[in-house]
Structure 1
Amino acid sequence: MVERGASAPSLPEDWPAHPDPILALNRMGSFDWDLDAGLFHMDAQAHEVFDLLPGEFDGRPESLAMRVPQPEGARLDAVVARAIKEGRENYGAYFRIRRRDGTWRWTHTQGYIRRDETGRPRRIVGIVRDATQELADSGARSARTAQDDAFRRQTNVVQVVSAALAHARSVQDVIDVLKDTHGIRHVGAASLVMGLVEAGRIRLVAEGPAGSFVPGTGVTRIDEPYPMSEVVRTLAPRFIESPEEFADCYPDLWREITDLHITSAAYLPLIAQARPIGAIGLLYNDRRGFSAEERAVLVALGGSIAQSLQRAMLYEQEKDLAQGLQQAMLPRTIPSVPGAEVAVRYRSAALGRDIGGDWYDLIPLPGGQVGAVIGDVQGHDTHAAAVMGQLRIVLRAYAAEGHPPATVMVRASVFLRDLDTDRFATCLYAQADLSTGIVQVVRAGHLDPLVRDSDGSCRRVPVEGGLPLGLSAEFGRLEYPVTTLELETGDTLLLCTDGLVEEPGADLDDGMRDLAALVVGSPRDDVQGLADRLIEAAEQRGGDDDVALLLLRRGGPESPRAGGRLRSHVAPGDPEALSRTRHLIRAAVRAWHAGSRADDIELVTDELVTNVLMHTESAAAVTLRLLEGGDRRVRIEVEDSSSALPRRREARADGVSGRGLLLVDRLADAWGVEARGGGKAVWCEFRVPPDSERAAGDVAGDHT
């Protein structure tokens, strides 16, 4: 025996345990319902109570529908939900099951609700037993059961329709539930009409089945002699019990609906927060009059519909507000980019009322370059959207000032840390020179970009990344390596947020591969069509995250075209390579008809290469391109692996060094320095005379 005062033993954590044999002796079965996993475990005796064979039940509660009819299941669910909502520890209920031979069996269940330390229900354990004989033997209980059956028949309409309306997220969802043939059948009506109150009028929004609409009643005033107007004015239901009463009270309307053979009707005001938001009319052709119980049930039905409508209307308002705020934070327009086709898309989350921090941006940059940004602020609320808007603006400002990509990321991270917010953001920034196709990419905890080549293939471009914005500044790890890639004419750069590729339970790499496969199967030369297809795929998949997408395709009709290209490598201590490179440069600029600029190009290129060999311990990678478009230009890029930036300084009168960058600045039309991965590149451009005689060819490939 248990000692007096001893606490009751708790259920073991490794439930389901083997039930006490006494349960089986009393024809009781046990169950364990894991609310988190959605699994319903039953022992062998419980299977017998439900008349289930071994292996016939898969452990999902909804699978019991084969034995528990929908009305009984809905009532039982309501009992459990009410017990959970009221904070009770247990519940009990009688319900019927349909055995495999078609006969009915009364069953009784008792459940014990187990909660965690926060009060959240986690599991329900209990018993089920055959109660058929028990109810048959008890006259008092039989009488009570008969009363319960009558009450269930009356309330079943409200329960079934309310259950269907519980999933309505919009006014149209509510209308679809009520217009559906099954919805009309549940309320026992032959047809229905529903209207919403708008600016002192009633606008008809639903009629079912088709053909029950009365011409001229699409929009009516509240003071007109119609039953729907009357219930809105009085806030009281109107029950019309016979055709004669209908014809006497509403002759104008009756003349229009005589072909429907209506014998009675119930018009109910839809009231929410003490004000009418609409009205619904239920028309019957197989009955006269309404009992007190039926009237009470229909009034309850009207209240349920009104609550669903109000919830749907508020939901739509919040969704419109969230989407409007999100759109206001995104760029109003995307600038046209000479030499590129651009497509952007944004899809809000399926959750509707939530608002995310996803964004895209396209930024015109000095020197004819363009910056492409994709990012995602942590969270789905208005705070995330506000942080996103501020971050987008400052990142745009830093980029427009001409800072290199790594510096743009560093400054944006510091800004987010100092913004007095606990949010961080992932981001990818790509700075593209469309005249050369060179793209510098930095990544802050974001997805890698994809590139669709002009032949239709698609590849993921691995980008060495840093920590998300905000976190990198917080932890003092402000390193954002730069990855350089080259877009050929017709290539498309694809940037997106994780809502386009992530699915619950799926691997991210699999999602990226699926995205690449989808891109391959899309039209090659239509970035707008590609963007639409990707968003349509996201819509079909659903998901609870926003999607931002930016596509940039090089090679539009206004793009400068490369007329020639020379690339050569010069290693330290290799005079032959240096001499050979000088000869190649001289031959190239002559072949490109550089005219009077040829000597300047040769001199500046030689100076830049010599600076690399003298002041760094790395090789020099020399690239010359002839760019033809609005004006012909020769672009020089000299790369090395040193991160030290060149400094322009005044040379002494007797000095032999210090004049290199002064010479570049004096002779070139434009020049600058760019970070390239672990090193840098010094570039400059020279305008050359137009070549009207012949197009320059590609005079050389790669040389070492």
Structure 2
Amino acid sequence: MTERAAGSLSLPDDWPADTRTSLTLNRMGTFDWHLDSGLMHVDESALSVFDLRPDEYDGRPRSLAARLPHTEGVRLNRVVARALRDGSVDYGAYLRILRRDGSPHWIHVQGFIRRDAVGRPQRVIGIVRDATQELAESTARLELDTVRRVQTSVVESTTAALAHARTVQDVIDALKESHGLERLGATSLVMGLLKARRIHLVADGPEGSHVPGTRVTRTDEGYPMSEVLRTLTPRFIESAREFAASYPLLWPHISELGITAAAYLPLIAQARPIGALGLLYRDKNGFTAEDRNLLVVLGSSIAQSLQRAMLFEQDHDLAQGLQQAMLPRRIPAVPGAEIAVRYRSARLGRDIGGDWYDIIPLPGGRVGAVIGDVQGHDTHAAAVMGQLRIVLRAYATEGHAPATVMARASVFLRELDTDRFATCTYVEADLATGVARFVRAGHVDPLIRDTDGSCRRLPVPGGMPLGLSAVFGRLDYPVKTVELDAGQTLVLYTDGLVEQPGTDLDDGMRVLAALVRDGPRDLQLLADRLSEVVDERGGEDDVALLLLRRGGARAPAGGRLRQHVAQGDPEALRTARHMIRAAVGAWGARDRSDDIELVADELITNALLHTDSGAVVTVRVLPGTERRLLVEVEDRSSTLPRRREAGAAGVSGRGLLLVDELADEWGVESRGSGKCVWSEFIVRHRPSR
């Protein structure tokens, strides 16, 4: 019956309507996007949805961008890229376009993804339709809710990035690198800080947009940042025409940048204006209420971060000034040595710490080299470091032996009533003979770079860190004596140069040894190279570095060495013997080395056995036509030594007989507080080896 009824009616010739007619009447169109070639076929119905004529479309997707605001294009690209990447079959998105007359319209884009046998996307076939009416109701509200969530997420992510900013530049970088401004549609930003009613520009805006004379401006001038700081009210500029009319001083300089909107926000922290922020937009027309609220919230977060950064920089400047005051202002020139020092602050904390270095000129051509590290990375550590450095220098210049210098410094640190301890290495080197005495208090071992460029670790027996050794009553510091050859380089450093989280200390020292081995021979260039490695690596610890190279000069005629030997200190006695042997060799008297060492050893032992104090041994070359080497041993006893027979079974009494036999001349002199036993040796004029 239905067929008969239909047959009795007169139907139109184009019934049923073809697909193209159906799509056109319902403001729908199709597209076919070939991904490999980049070509996209868009039919006339779809172009009509975009309000484009066929002659305005060149077959490339970018031609459609003329109707898409920047933020919408970014959002569509993100949706498509995610679908292509995660294996999705299709995707869909609502977009806001601007028609030819500038009026906004909503469209919906839906695409089906065709993939090859291995899942690689090849084509996207889809539909574009007008969704303005559809979104006028509930769908529009849902889409706007999504936009709000995206904007809120941007503010949250930007605030999280700002939480790690420590300096003003960090705040600027966080805003630029967090992509928050890009997601909000902003092209760039300008920022100024308020100081004494003047605005100092710290971020310039887009490249090529610098306006002459605006680096520093007053709050009463006709600029948008000046206005928001006078009124403490945000300023939203919704068109280029409004910008030009409101700010005729500024607009001529930025009119070529394509800015269509801008938002200027006062930055207020603790009820006090500290600066202003400007966000510049392209392809934006107006600000919704949601836009304004979110930007105000973002401005408040930026203001808090800026205030925190400014306080940190003030604290840092104070701490850095203290650090520089505590370190030596200059390194003295030391004849017979090349020296290079460096200090690099940590990347975290206040950028300062307790690491230090020092060079101490000592009598007789000797030099003291110190490297140390006070626990902590703050102004307290720097203050303790400064006091400890001065005390070490004072004890060394008083003439105390290295072990005594270290022990007294430990006692001093304990008496400071601080909870800090310190590690340290102290080296006393005689540059004429090359004799170097090392004392280590909980510090890392030094390195030695040989003349052939090879580098090795120098194991030094150590005691407890300074402060702790005094607390536990363990003030005995072993001394290691080494003879540095001419051209050898001593590398002293703090643990920040070799320690990295998650790595072994020995591995770090091997890496450092390789860097020293392969580094430049010039000490200053080598120090620069090691500092660059620290800068590239970053880290949580500061670094001090001291390089000391012994020169090739030998001791001149009339050279003199002096050494104190305490009672009950066998290490000091061994050090004195080593010093005498090295001096004899350096001064070209190796042919009499055995005689001189044996006599000196006998005189020192006599002083230690028969007096109640230590001894001071001096070795020097006497001027004159006949070259003589003099050994003097002083003690505080006024009792003069005398020859006596030891007897057949005696083990004592032969010492002065030995001295009389080996020395060319010897004698005893009374001194104000004791005596001096001396012996002279005639040595031939010949260069040392």
Following superposition, the deviation at residue 649 of structure 1 comes to 4.0
Instruction: Give the secondary-structure state (helix, strand or coil) at the position aligned to 2:546.
Output: strand
1:389 deviates by 1.7
Query: Residue 165 of structure 1 corresponds to which residue in structure 2?
Result: 162
Correspondent of 1:650 among 639, 660, 673: 639
1:533 and 2:507 are equivalent in the alignment: no
Q: Answer yes or no: is the 8 Å Cα contact 1:174–1:308 preserved in 2.
A: yes
Residue 154 (structure 1) shift:
3.3
Deviates more, 1:386-395 or 1:161-170: 161-170
| Residue aligning to 1:542 | 538
Could you tell me which of 410, 423, 432 is aligned with 1:426? 423
Q: Normalized against structure 1, the TM-score is what?
A: 0.64
Aligned equivalents of 1:495, 1:536: Cα separation in 2: 17
Residue pair 2:450, 2:488 contacting (<8 A) in 1 also: yes
Match of 1:509 among 496, 500, 506: 506
Residue identity matched to 1:552: L
* Amino acid paired to 1:331: P
Deviation, 1:562, is 10
Q: Is the 8 A contact 1:165 1:174 kept in 2?
A: yes
| 1:488 aligned onto 2:485 | yes
Indicate if the aligned counterparts of 1:560 and 1:627 stay in contact, CA closer than 8 A.
no
Q: Given that residues 323 and 348 in structure 1 are in contact (C-alpha distance below 8 angstroms), is that contact kept between their aligned partners in structure 2?
A: no
Amino acid paired to 1:210: E
Amino acid at match of 1:650: T
| 1:473 has 2:452 as partner | no
Q: Conserved in 1, the CA contact under 8 Å of 2:365 and 2:430?
A: yes
Structure 1 residue 697 and structure 2 residue 687: aligned?
yes
Aligned to 2:4: none
- Aligned pair partner of 1:153 in 145, 150, 153: 150
Tell me the residue number matched to 2:447.
450
User: Do the aligned partners of 1:668 and 1:686 also contact (CA within 8 Å) in 2?
Assistant: no
Give the secondary-structure state (helix, strand or coil) at the position aligned to 2:250: helix
Alignment partners' CA distance in 1, 2:682 and 2:401: 27
Matched, 1:330 2:327: yes
For 1:553, the equivalent position in structure 2 comes to: 549
SS in 1 for 2:463: coil
Cα deviation 1:110-148 (Å, max 9, x = unaligned): xxxxxxxxxxxxxxxxxxxxxxxxxxxxxxx99997675
CA displacement, residues 326-349 of structure 1 (integer Å, 9 cap, x when unaligned) = 221111121111110111111111
Distance across 2 between alignment mates of 1:164 and 1:383: 30
**TM-score normalized by structure 2?**
0.65
Match of 1:101 in 2: 88
Gaps in structure 1 of 5+ consecutive residues: 1-69, 72-95, 106-140, 565-584, 618-622, 640-644, 673-681, 700-704
- Alpha-carbon distance in structure 1 between the residues aligned to 2:90 and 2:442: 62
Rounded to whole Å, the distance in 2 between the matches of 1:664 and 1:310 is 78
Output the amino acid matched with 1:101: S
Distance 1:293 1:683 in 2: 97
SS of match in other structure, 2:364:
helix
Larger radius of gyration: 2
Instruction: Please give the alpha-carbon distance, in whole angstroms, between the structure 2 residues aligned to 1:271 and 1:688.
Output: 85
1:440 aligned partner: 437
Give unmatched runs, 5+ long, in structure 2.
Answer: 1-73, 76-82, 93-137, 560-580, 610-616, 646-652
SS of the equivalent of 2:481 reads strand
Relative to structure 1, is the Cα distance of residues 519 and 602 closer, same or farther in structure 2, using a 3 angstrom cutoff? Answer: closer
**Displacement of 1:652 after TM fit?**
7.1
Counterpart in 1 of 2:239? 242
1:562-606: CA deviation from partner (whole Å, max 9, x where unpaired)? 999xxxxxxxxxxxxxxxxxxxx9xx99x9699xxx99x999766
Give the Cα separation in 1 of the matches to 2:175 and 2:595. 82
- Distance 1:250-1:654 versus aligned 2 partners, 3 A rule: closer
- Secondary structure of the residue aligned to 1:270 is strand
CA distance in structure 1 between the aligned counterparts of 2:314 and 2:679, rounded to whole angstroms: 55
Aligned with 1:500 (options 497, 501, 504): 497
CA contact (8 A) 1:374 1:496 kept: yes
Within 5 A, what are the aligned runs for 1:584-599? none
SS in 2 for 1:252: coil
Question: 1:231–1:238: 8 Å Cα contact kept in structure 2?
Answer: yes
Task: Provide closer, same or farther for how the CA distance between residues 563 and 604 of structure 1 changes in structure 2, counting only shifts above 3 A.
Answer: closer
1:665: how far off? 8.6
Q: How does 1:375-414 map to 2 (within 5 A)?
A: 375-414=372-411
1:401-443 C-alpha deviation (Å, 9 max, x unpaired): 1011111111111222222222221111100100100001111
Q: What secondary structure, in the 3-state scheme, does the structure 1 residue paired with 2:383 have?
A: helix
Alignment of 1:88-237 (within 5 A): 100-101=87-88, 148-179=145-176, 182-237=179-234
Instruction: Give the residue type in structure 2 aligned to 1:697.
Output: P
1:4-39, Cα deviation, whole Å (9 max, x unpaired): xxxxxxxxxxxxxxxxxxxxxxxxxxxxxxxxxxxx
Compute the displacement of 1:627 (Å).
8.2
Equivalent position SS for 1:529: helix
Give the CA deviation at 1:386.
2.1
Work out the CA distance in 1 between the residues paired with 2:449 and 2:626. Answer: 28
Determine if the alignment matches structure 1 residue 460 to structure 2 residue 452: no
Q: What's the secondary structure of 1:192's corresponding residue? A: strand
Q: Distance in 2 between matches of 1:442 and 1:401?
A: 17
Task: Say whether 1:266 aligns with 2:260.
Answer: no
Amino acid across the alignment from 1:448: D
**Counterpart-to-counterpart distance in 2, 1:236 and 1:451:** 65
- Which residue of structure 2 aligns with residue 608 of structure 1? 600
How far off its partner does 1:192 sit?
A: 2.9
CA distance in 2, matches of 1:416, 1:428: 15
Letter in 1 for 2:285: R
Assess, with a 3 A threshold, how the Cα gap between structure 1 residues 389 and 541 changes in structure 2: closer, same or farther: same
Cα separation, 1, equivalents of 2:354 and 2:344: 12
Tell me the percent identity.
62
> Size of the alignment, in residue pairs?
516
How far the C-alpha of 1:500 sits from its partner, in A, is 0.7
1:633/1:685 contact within 8 Å kept: no
Residue 358, structure 1, aligned to residue 350, structure 2: no
Asked whether the 8 Å contact 2:666–2:679 carries over to 1, the reply is: no
**SS in structure 2 of the partner of residue 455 of structure 1:** coil
Once structures 1 and 2 are overlaid, which stretch shifts more, 181-190 or 364-373? Answer: 181-190
Q: What SS does the aligned partner of 2:465 have?
A: coil
Distance 1:258 1:605 in 2: 89
